[in-house]
Amino acid sequence: MTEQNVLDALKNVTYPGFTKDIVTFGFVKDIVVENTTVGIMLDITSSADEVKNELIEKGTAELKKAGFEEIHVNINAPQAPRQMSNSVSGKNIAPHIKNFVMVSSGKGGVGKSTTSVNLAISLAMQGKKVGLLDADIYGPNIPRMMGVDGQKPEVQGNKLSPLKAYGVEIMSMGSIMEEGKALIWRGSMIMKAIEQFLRDIMWSELDVLVIDMPPGTGDAQLSLAQSVPITAGITVTTPQEVSLDDSRRSLNMFKKLDIPTAGIIENMSGFICPSCDEESDIFGMGTTLPVAEEFNTELIARIPIEPAIRIGGDTGMPIAYHKPDSETGKRYQEAAVKLWEFIEKVNAEDLAGNAGVQPTTPPGVSACSTGGAAAATPARATEGSPTPVENTEGIKMAKKPVADESCGTGCGCH
């Protein structure tokens, strides 16, 4: 019996949740064969006990079929992330999900959704139990990119089951609403929708939920940060200065919301010619590094422009899965490795928590500028205030709202 006999047998063991085997994934590290006795070491990236148990069971069965009598299957897996306590870390409405990654950008059109898709798939290919939440309510593109456009989630009681593709659980407003329909929602409705996506979707006990956020630094980002403790924040940008200006705002938002910053992904960084594979500088390359240093974080990856990325996004065949050996596919895999190392560091040092960003207004009172202010300092909103009010420089200002006035935005403060 030889090592090749062992590898041939283990090629029949598919990794849980995937169609590829553990040999193809490269998880088989050490093999010791002595007559009909064999010992193997599997180096996996999932900390889930059910994954380890299934691999041991299936590996043992296949090796017995190959003629081995005494079999020892050892598993090397990362330590399971410690579950954050709500009492210590603030609010967590989805405690069965171990880690949350916020993928954000200061502006739209920089490839944030493409990055979220390929990062999620890369993490899943490395053995993690991954979910992908499309929180970009106004522009939900994830279903098309993941090849599940047209599919509807199954309703179970008052909850929805996420869709699945490429070993990733998926949920998006685009899978619920009518195709092509515009959502014209106020901020409070966006905030409620994000909470429901976390609370009312039947997510598995995921290692990580990758969340594709809407562009900017608004209601959606604040609502998410207050609902769950974000483990890592990633900013996606292009190399141009006009994009970097907005990326600074995104990074500043992470700081204000107590979100550990994993780093920056510089998208559209160079162009790879499909004919000669030569990389050319179009928009600039490496311009993000000074920004990363400014915010004491790192440049996780430079993702080039490559036709296969666009084709994969349009056809639901992401490059990270369908062309993992391409230059871009390799860079997404490397980015996923760096991201997971950062997540493990955050968990080891207990850095994830949202207690400091919870609302401070009394229960049942809106935190908007009128409702919250009126409740907190009623003396400032008095009947009979002059209209308009003049400041010390003689500039006319709107009067301060009285306690029974609405702010007029529809937030529900009155």
Residue 403 in 3-state DSSP?
A: coil
Q: State CA 89 to chain mean position distance.
A: 19
The pLDDT of residue 366 is 54
Residues 65 and 113 in one domain: no
Residues 16 and 90 in one domain: no
Residues 343 and 399 in one domain: no
Residue length of the chain: 414
The pLDDT of residue 400 is 43
Does a structural domain hold residue 81? no
Give CA–CA dist 261/231, Å, rounded. 9
Q: For each successive 10 residues of the chain (414 residues), what is the average pLDDT?
A: 89 84 87 90 81 90 91 82 49 91 85 93 94 85 92 87 94 79 70 85 93 83 89 91 84 90 90 78 80 92 88 92 91 94 92 85 56 44 40 40 46 48
Place of tokens 């009312």: 200
Residues 230 and 310 in one domain: yes
Choose one of 15, 47, 76: the last residue of a domain.
76
Does a structural domain hold residue 25? yes
Closest by CA to 15, choosing from 3, 29, 28, 4, is 28
Classify strands 130-134 and 168-172 as parallel, antiparallel or unpaired: parallel
State the total domains in the chain. Answer: 3
Choose one of 76, 97, 119: the last residue of a domain.
76
With beta carbons less than 8 A apart as the criterion, state whether 268 and 237 touch: no
Residues 162 and 298 in one domain: yes
A 10 A CB-CB count for 261 gives 21
Cα 87 to Cα 98, 100, 179, 346, 354: the distances in Å are 16, 18, 41, 18, 11
Residues 347 and 371 in one domain: no
Does a structural domain hold residue 332? yes
The pLDDT of residue 409 is 43
Residues 314 and 342 in one domain: yes
Residue 20 in 3-state DSSP?
A: coil
- Characterize 168-182 residue by residue with b for buried, 16 or more Cβ atoms within 10 angstroms of its Cβ, and e for exposed: bbbbbbbbeeeeeee
Peptide bond into 324 cis (omega under 30): no
Place of tokens 């990856």: 301
The pLDDT of residue 242 is 81
Residues 331 and 377 in one domain: no
Choose one of 340, 357, 374: the last residue of a domain.
357
CATH no. for residue 49? 3.30.300.130
Residues 224 and 277 in one domain: yes
Query: Which residue segment(s) compose the domain that 40 sits in?
Result: 3-76
The pLDDT of residue 356 is 86
Residues 229 and 334 in one domain: yes
Compute the Cα dihedral for 14, 16, 20, 24 and give only its sign: negative
Residue 276 in 3-state DSSP?
A: coil
